Chain A
């Protein structure tokens, strides 16, 4: 059974600081997603990582994938308040389009 685990589940940080969210998954997958969810809203797609060693960056967020370690990271650089949200990683189950989600990491950036 594919399991996806994120840590930390809650992260409170000061503006300007850096931090990393980790996403571990239990079985082989070639497709890993990162999403952002604001309260009461649906998911916003941030990154899709398709191969080992893939790194993608958008603004203050950078995601990477290590398929051998079954680990993805979402790194936040110089956090700003607007990044406050819940972040989910999700793994495609056998490249079927069915996604298994991590528990989510709620990020709170304080001024």
Chain B
């Protein structure tokens, strides 16, 4: 299995632009998580899907952030409009029945 696949690996954009991060979970996994990692706050859970349904989005910073999971094999995290303080590494992770978590390699986002 290729593991959790995230794209792009790096994204550099200007403030105000829309950013879309993509994630392909491990086939068969039924839970998907989006995390954000910064030096100041460590790893924060943004949103969590179970069977494609958003279960807990209390970690989403504000309305500029949205996440979708149209099917079991794909999820997106969108930031519109982006701001410099959104610069971070965004991780996607998947698991089966909330057991062992498998992380993607992350997307390094820089908003100038």
Co-complex (A, B): no
